[in-house]
Amino acid sequence: MKPVKKQGAKLSQMNRMLKMWQYVFAGLFILLFLNFAKIAVTGTVTNTSGEKTDLLVFADERGYYREEILAERGEIYDHKGQVVAQNINTYNLYAVVAKEQIEPGTGKPLYVADVQGTAEKLAPILNAPVDFLVEQLTPENPDTFQVYFGNYGKGLTQSEKEAIDALEIPGLKFDVVSTRHYPQGMFAAHTLGYAVKNEDTGLIEGQMGLEATYDDNLAGKNGYREQQINTHGQQLPNTEEIYVAPENGDDIYLTLDLTIQTFVEDALNKAMEKYTPEYAMAIVAEAKTGKILAMGSRPSFDPNVRDIESYMNPLTELTYEPGSVMKDITYAASIDLGTYNGQATLESGYFEVDGFKIYDHNKSGWGTITFDEGLCRSSNTAIANVLTRNLTKPQFEDYLSRFGFGQPTNVGLPNENAGIMELNSDAQYITSGFGQGVTATAMQMLQSHLAIANDGKMMKPYFIDKIVDDETGEIIEQNEPTVVSEPISAETAKHVRELMKEVIYNEDCATGARFAIDGYEVAGKTGTSQMPGPDGAYLSGDANYLYSFMGMAPADDPELVVYTVVNKPKSDFINSTTSIFNPVMEKSLKYLQIQPDDGAGSQVDPEMQVKSGTMPSLINQSVETAQAELNKIGIQPLILGSGTQIVHQSHPANDTVRSNERVILMTNSPEFLLPDLNGWSYSDVQALAMVAQLDIEIQGNGAVKSQSQPSQTPMQPGTSLVVKLE
């Protein structure tokens, strides 16, 4: 019987264990049930970190494939529609070197099999050493799948890609890279800035200047394509594809004129080469509107290369003591108050204030001189007498504020400086009248003198003409001429201009005679300001001055104001600013067909005489009619093809065109003969591509030096052409 008892006890123990496990599983089941019930009610789950996930959202998102569609960045144009910033595709070459890459069915290699031969064929196209290419194509790690070729293989053009494709070497492939390109090179570089691709977002983003300030307008908004897919990446049946189109960036049109900007860039280059200053600047503006037609500085950079020495735009961020150009403002304040007597006299040489002497640039002076003569001679003692006899400090401070000093111009560029116009002592009050002890920017100096040029109305400088929707053509923002203030009366402005003419033409006292321009009367004022050293004390020696000139023409009714600055030139100091102002002002006046003054010298060079008119709509017009219409405004068009009707024109209807521009008309002909493009500008080539519907790759900057097809080659729409500029 004992064995039976032991067996019963064992069964009883097993029953207790089973019941215990039943309770455990029942408890777990209840917990799971409660958890599922909670999930069913709340629709969320919580992970070990306490983070909650919405299951409906999770289920909705799972199995979806989303492809980002990049927006196209807006382009930037000069005021005539010539491109100064655009997007182009370049190519980065790479090579597949993994030997297991074999084409199924044929056994042909899909990798670079002939290393030496490939290197020898690539070398002349990439301008790379053969040994380097061989080294890249034979990596040490046998598991390497693909290799790149460093800078030699980056940024390849379409023609270089086509040349490599023509080699038909297996394993050579390309990454397509969208790049921001600046076809005019060093064109107002600090103003335009630059943009580069963000590798994380795929978008080209502005990093400096206009590209950064207006990045929201230019960048656009990415679109996307979304599909619900299975595990094989195939779209599920009975599901819809969601497509949201990208919104391309807006286009920006500047007030800058490519031709006048070229005058400025060329003059700055020559000045830097001849006088080797620390920096140089120039601005050209319309006197009556404030539109900036050109502005540049040196040192500068090519935004395609980004060889940047300084990221600061000196035209708006750099402050300096402007020197004697400020004397115009001091005289204007006294004249406007009615306290000025030009024939009153003063003793020149020096003026004592706060225990120290302020000297004229001719320390011995000119004896007794009139106040009118004081501006002509650029006399510091004349300014001291104007400020102590005709003005009070509060009055002068008020006029400085009216002229915009101590305040940014809000021209539309980042980090603009306001300058300092604090007159804390009697000495600073006196020296401020001739531009020492106070600071301003070049843009402030220009703006203040727009009031003198424009009969008392001080125009706001601006360089953005309009912002246009790339897709609809709708004008999103249109800038108009704006009067900032009227610091002086029209009579005062005219009086100051008369005194500024004396600076140029009075044989007895003119300090700016070298700024006279043949054919036009100029009103202007020179500036020679001392520059402080590291210890704050003013430096000595002619090579340590900032030289400047503010000029406007024609003097009696100015159309243009040109301001030039050259800091610390190393030679021929007195002519450093002349070398910039004179060619820029003269060429700009003639280019804009501003009539020369009677008796101011010889007439305009006949070769510079141009007519202008409004471009007519010539689409569907006969060739004869189109020629006749354009001949009325002095334009001889380039007509492509032997057709009888015009189907495309290079300039839109109602656009202002000049007789020195290249106007291209396309006829209803299936083909045309390619013209000789030698000397054509970038914009001319672009116009040809648009009118003739050619696939033209433009390489370089400047003027055309070569073309891949000779002139008189029969061409048709879609034909490829490579044009190189220098």
The CA distance from 310 to 318, in Å, is 11
Given 297, 300, 324, 348, the catalytic residue = 324
In the chain, the amino acid numbered 567 is N
Q: Which helix (H) or strand (E) holds 18?
A: helix 2-42
The helix/strand/coil state of 114 is coil
The answer to whether the CB of 313 falls within 8 A of the CB of 292 is: no
Phi, psi values for residue 282, rounded to 5°: -155, 140
Q: How would you list the strands of the sheet with 560-567, edge to edge?
A: 292-298, 279-286, 560-567, 545-553, 523-530
* Partners of residue 703 on adjacent β-strands: 681
SS (H, E, C) 463-528: CEEEEECCCCCCEEEECCCCEEECCCCHHHHHHHHHHHHHHHHCCCCCCCHHHCECCECCEEEEEE
The CA distance from 409 to 416, in Å, is 8
Active-site residue 324, yes or no?
Answer: yes
The answer to whether the CB of 561 falls within 8 A of the CB of 453 is: yes
Contact residues for 283 (Cβ-Cβ < 8 A; gap 6+): 292, 294, 295, 315, 442, 443, 446, 461, 562, 563
| Burial degree of 610 (CB within 10 A; 0-12, 13-18, 19+) | middle
Burial 653-684 (b: 16+ CB within 10 A, else e): eeeebbbbbbbbbbbeeebbebbebeebbbbb
The CA distance from 284 to 563, in Å, is 7
Compute the radius of gyration of the chain from its Cα atoms. Answer: 36
Residues with catalytic function? 324
